């Protein structure tokens, strides 16, 4: 992340308003909070001389007291976290294991016996452990390093009696700005009235970040040297959706954020209990509820509505708004930003689906573009572009929440060739030692009758299926989805379309992989029960339909949905099917 600040605004003329400053970090926990800042800095490790032999016993005692105090405090917080069994408590218990690890404690005591002051011994031992983890490629393990660092800092602060949270008075400053926050402190600070965190240390999968998300405390992390730039008592806005912090906001900025806060509060109220409830049928069959997202701002709706992830990112839109293929660096930044904002929810990034009505400068004119160089066909003819995109997606995958999917695949040959390119790129990234998630799930979009008919053989080499019903309808019914003259013929309630969807769902069952729908059809509330009954396991809808769709999912049992699907499949006419579903 860029060092702070990223931009500065002069005060409006004629006002004495302090300068507005913006800082950018990683959005670690969603939500927006406005309040006063409390800045906490770390007690530094002073370089002390070596201990003389007669000081050693006292120093061992000093370490034992500090260590016992930290353990007692953590145990206390664990006891208080009785209501947070699922995520919060296990994290705190892991912290306790790290703190009481006998090997580390023995090594610290040994260092003290060898003449090292306790602070230095603690620092050296825990740093050695976290340095080891920071070297590994696996980001999850690397994020565990920040957990170890946080324990190190707690122990050192305890030894120095300069406790990080000791000086925070209840109600003082609602935004804590600190070098780091440990999982224990997330709970302690929350109880002291802290409503948002900003830290210098990063690691969106670190336990402190996970706890902030779990406890609904907005957090922005990885803002380098932020404690140097911020002052106690200044007003600030923490935007945990975008990873932005605005200090001394100007009245216009404030107004903008107040509006967003009130829209969020409104939708929270409206959604009420439903937002918090799982997306499952009344007989507890889980149906993944995701959203198709077309810009970064919409990710906010996904997290605020507690959806299960992002079912479709149309990357060609990103290229088309620029008028050219973005560079690999731009792509990595864009995909990473999406993945980080959505984290830990999964994000389906779709490879460029150029062609037909979506064109950029590089496309050759064609008489019948919808049946021409489109989607996977175009990418295989423009392998440099495809290779670059695969590389960018994989490079952005370090948090392990990216899934990559291929559009408009019409034959086994295309699927094999695409997978070959992905394997080659993976091998080359591994050779270069570039970090990426080697297990990034790869999915296939089923958008043509040929792909639907062959779904089982095609999908056998993929981790998931996503049905593009917008195109499946157009290609099955030979009705251009953009032509108003054939709008009446373009109908996803047509039995032929439904039969193909059902066939693909069955392939998913046979292969035991998820089958989602990311076309507009999934957003139509009258289709929810039918699609569940056909065996669809994930619905990706427009963000505004998330809650309504959840309502439909929760209304039905899988048994009833199954029966409805069987009944509907007997009806040979689209009009009758539509009527029956809408009347229901």
Site membership for Mg ion, residue 471 (CB under 5 A): yes
Site membership for ligand PEP, residue 470 (CB under 6 A): yes
Question: Is the CB of 447 or the CB of 538 nearer to ligand PEP?
Answer: 447
Site membership for ligand PEP, residue 476 (CB under 6 A): no
Smallest separation, CB 389 to ligand PEP (Å): 16
Smallest separation, CB 483 to Mg ion (Å): 16
CB 500 within 8 A of CB 452: yes
For ligand PEP, which residue of 353, 414, 437, 538 counts as binding (CB under 6 A)?
353
CB 542 within 8 A of CB 314: no
Task: Report d(CA 459, CA 272) in Å as an integer.
Answer: 39
Could you say which residues in the range 516-535 bind ligand PEP, by CB under 6 A? Answer: 518-519
Active-site residue list: 207, 518
Site membership for ligand PEP, residue 469 (CB under 6 A): yes
For Mg ion, which residue of 468, 533, 535, 543 counts as binding (CB under 5 A)?
468
202 prior amide bond cis, ω within 30: no
User: Residue 217's closest CA among 199, 237, 190?
Assistant: 190
Could you say which residues in the range 439-468 bind ligand PEP, by CB under 6 A? Answer: 447, 468
Site membership for Mg ion, residue 222 (CB under 5 A): no
Site membership for Mg ion, residue 516 (CB under 5 A): no
Site membership for ligand PEP, residue 351 (CB under 6 A): no
Could you say which residues in the range 303-342 bind ligand PEP, by CB under 6 A? Answer: 312, 314
Q: Which alpha helices (DSSP H) does 433-557 contain, by range?
A: 449-453, 455-459, 469-477, 495-511, 528-534, 546-555
Q: What are phi and psi of 406, to 5 degrees?
A: -105, 125
User: Residue 199's closest CA among 177, 182, 214?
Assistant: 177
Site membership for ligand PEP, residue 374 (CB under 6 A): no
| Contact window for Mg ion (CB under 5 A) among 119-127, 363-371, 440-448, 560-568 | 440-448
Smallest separation, CB 471 to Mg ion (Å): 4
Task: Report d(CA 133, CA 90) in Å as an integer.
Answer: 21
Site membership for ligand PEP, residue 29 (CB under 6 A): no
CB 235 within 8 A of CB 18: no
Site membership for ligand PEP, residue 154 (CB under 6 A): no
143 binds, among ligand PEP, Mg ion, none (CB under 5 to 8 A by kind): none
Smallest separation, CB 447 to ligand PEP (Å): 5
User: Residue 464's closest CA among 272, 271, 309?
Assistant: 309
DSSP per position, 168-213: PPTTS-SEEEES---HHHHHHHHHTT--EEEES---TTSHHHHHHH
5 binds, among Mg ion, ligand PEP, none (CB under 5 to 8 A by kind): none
CB 183 within 8 A of CB 121: no
Count of CA atoms in the C-beta half-sphere (13 A) of 570: 6
# binding residues, ligand PEP (CB under 6 A): 10
Smallest separation, CB 308 to ligand PEP (Å): 17
Catalog residues that contact ligand PEP under the rule CB under 6 A: 312, 314, 353, 447, 468-471, 518-519
Catalog residues that contact Mg ion under the rule CB under 5 A: 447, 468, 471
């Amino acid at each position: 992340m860029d060092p702070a600040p990223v931009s500065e605004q002069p005060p409006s003329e004629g006002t004495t308003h302090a300068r507005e400053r913006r800082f950018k970090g990683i959005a670690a926990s969603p939500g927006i909070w406005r309040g006063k800042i409390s800045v906490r800095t770390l007690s530094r490790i002073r370089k002390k001389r070596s201990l003389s032999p007669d000081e050693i016993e006292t120093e061992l005692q000093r370490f034992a007291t500090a260590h016992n105090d930290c353990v007692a405090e953590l145990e206390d917080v664990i006891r208080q976290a009785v209501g947070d069994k699922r995520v919060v408590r296990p994290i705190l218990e892991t912290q306790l294991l790290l703190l009481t690890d006998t090997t580390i404690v023995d090594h610290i005591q040994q260092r003290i016996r060898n003449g090292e002051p306790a602070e230095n011994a603690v620092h050296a031992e825990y740093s050695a452990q976290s340095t080891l983890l920071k070297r590994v490629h696996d980001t999850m393990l690397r994020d565990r390093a920040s957990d170890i660092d946080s324990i190190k800092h707690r122990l050192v602060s305890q030894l120095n009696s300069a406790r990080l949270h000791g000086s925070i008075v209840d109600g003082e400053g609602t935004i804590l700005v600190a070098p780091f926050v440990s999982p224990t402190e997330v709970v302690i600070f929350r109880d002291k009235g802290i409503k948002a965190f900003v830290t210098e240390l990063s690691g969106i999968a670190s336990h402190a970040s996970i706890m902030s998300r779990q406890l609904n405390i907005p957090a922005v992390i990885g803002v380098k040297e932020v404690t140097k730039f911020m002052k106690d008592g200044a007003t600030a806005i923490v935007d945990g959706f975008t990873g932005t912090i605005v200090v001394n906001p100007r009245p216009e900025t404030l107004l903008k954020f107040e509006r967003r806060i009130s829209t969020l509060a409104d939708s929270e109220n409206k959604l009420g209990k439903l937002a918090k409830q799982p997306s499952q049928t009344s007989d507890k069959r889980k149906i993944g509820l995701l959203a198709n997202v077309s810009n970064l701002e919409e990710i906010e709706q996904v997290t605020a509505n507690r959806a299960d992830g992002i079912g479709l990112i149309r990357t060609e839109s990103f290229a088309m708004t620029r008028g050219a293929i973005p560079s690999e660096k731009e792509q990595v930044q864009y995909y990473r930003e999406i993945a980080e904002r959505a984290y830990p929810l999964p994000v389906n990034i779709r490879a460029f689906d150029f062609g037909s009505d979506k064109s950029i400068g590089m496309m050759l004119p064609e008489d019948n573009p919808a049946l021409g160089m489109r989607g996977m066909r175009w990418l295989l003819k423009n392998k440099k572009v495809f290779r670059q995109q695969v590389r960018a997606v994989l490079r952005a995958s370090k948090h392990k929440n990216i899934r990559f999917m291929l559009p408009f695949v019409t034959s086994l040959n295309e699927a094999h060739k695409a997978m070959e390119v992905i394997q080659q790129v993976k091998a080359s990234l591994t050779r270069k030692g570039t970090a990426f998630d080697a297990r990034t799930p790869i999915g296939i979009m089923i958008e043509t009758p040929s792909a639907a008919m062959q779904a089982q053989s095609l999908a056998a080499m993929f981790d998931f299926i996503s049905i593009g019903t917008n195109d499946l309808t157009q290609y099955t019914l030979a009705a251009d989805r953009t032509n108003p003259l054939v709008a009446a013929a373009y109908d996803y309630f047509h039995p032929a379309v439904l039969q193909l969807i059902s066939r693909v769902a069955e392939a998913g069952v046979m292969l035991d992989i998820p089958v989602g729908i990311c076309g507009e059809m999934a957003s139509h509330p009258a289709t929810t029960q039918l699609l569940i009954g056909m065996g669809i396991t994930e619905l990706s809808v427009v963000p505004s339909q998330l809650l309504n769709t959840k309502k439909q999912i929760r209304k039905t049992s899988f048994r009833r949905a199954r029966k409805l699907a069987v009944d509907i499949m007997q009806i040979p006419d689209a009009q009758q099917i539509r009527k029956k579903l809408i009347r229901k």
